[in-house]
Chains A and B, each alone.
Chain A
Amino acid sequence: AQSVTQLGSHVSVSEGALVLLRCNYSSSVPPYLFWYVQYPNQGLQLLLKYTSAATLVKGINGFEAEFKKSETSFHLTKPSAHMSDAAEYFCAVSDDSGGSNYKLTFGKGTLLTVNP
């Protein structure tokens, strides 16, 4: 079975500092990987996705993530945090095997706090 591990349920950074949210996955086949963001009382919004093209993926709001197969990682970064980035972030993987690539497996989420 697939699994996604997000290291750190809560990350706190200062405004202007680097944001690094970690995600490791287990998958027996090359996966599709996603980062979603959830603002309070809102649905999950797609930040970016990796679908076996370029390993460095750029998303919305200045975020990017790098797929590293050797490390089975897909960490999310942003060079300079903004107060509006405070939210919960979810990493997810879908398995392309067996035609069930619609079935997303999510990590438990990382709550990002940005301090002024």
Chain B
Amino acid sequence: NAGVMQNPRHLVRRRGQEARLRCSPMKGHSHVYWYRQLPEEGLKFMVYLQKENIIDESGMPKERFSAEFPKEGPSILRIQQVVRGDSAAYFCASSPPPTDTQYFGPGTRLTVL
């Protein structure tokens, strides 16, 4: 059973560009979570999604950030008009029921120049 897949693993963007981060959950998992890890910090919860639904986006910045998990295809975390402060590692996790263990992907390291 393949683990959680994230791509790209490394992403470089210039200020003002858009960043799209993809996450494919483990087979059979229908719950996806996104976390952000800023330098020298622990992972911080951003958003929890089920297929076609955002369940909890309390950790998402109010502007420029959005997430989706369509019926088909991977979950996407989208950051519009990136700024240097968006440089971080973005981790995706998945689980079967939400009370079960979350399995993490390898992360996408975003660098904004």
Residues of A within 8 A of B (CB): 4, 34, 36, 41-46, 49, 90, 92, 100-109
Q: With A and B bound together, what is the CA distance between A104 and B103 in angstroms?
A: 12
Q: With A and B bound together, what is the CA distance between A43 and B102 in angstroms?
A: 11
Which residues from B are CB-within-8-Å of A107? 42
B31: interface (CB < 8 Å): yes
Interface size grouping (class) on chain B: 20 to 34
| B3 and A43 within 8 A (CB) | yes
B101: interface (CB < 8 Å): yes
| A108 and B42 within 8 A (CB) | yes
B106: interface (CB < 8 Å): yes
| A104 and B102 within 8 A (CB) | yes
| B56 and A43 within 8 A (CB) | no
Which residues from B are CB-within-8-Å of A104? 33, 35, 43, 45, 102
Residues of B within 8 A of A (CB): 3-4, 6, 9, 31, 33, 35, 40-45, 48, 56, 58-59, 91, 93, 95, 98-99, 101-107
| B33 and A102 within 8 A (CB) | yes
Known: A43-B3, A103-B56. A49 touches B101 (CB 8 A): yes
Which residues from A are CB-within-8-Å of B31? 102
Q: With A and B bound together, what is the CA distance between A103 and B98 in angstroms?
A: 9
| B45 and A43 within 8 A (CB) | no
- Residues of A contacting B: mostly: strand
A-B CB proximity, top 5 nearest:
A106-B42, A44-B104, A43-B104, A106-B43, A43-B106
Q: With A and B bound together, what is the CA distance between A105 and B102 in angstroms?
A: 13
| B48 and A102 within 8 A (CB) | yes
| B103 and A90 within 8 A (CB) | no
Which residues from A are CB-within-8-Å of B42? 4, 90, 92, 105-109
| B107 and A43 within 8 A (CB) | yes
The listed residue (A41, A100, A108) touching B56 by CB distance below 8 A is A100
Q: With A and B bound together, what is the CA distance between A43 and B107 in angstroms?
A: 6
Q: With A and B bound together, what is the CA distance between A43 and B9 in angstroms?
A: 11
What are 15 sample pairs from A and B whose C-beta atoms fall under 8 A apart? A4-B42, A36-B104, A41-B106, A43-B104, A43-B106, A46-B101, A46-B103, A90-B42, A101-B98, A102-B31, A102-B95, A103-B58, A105-B42, A106-B44, A108-B41
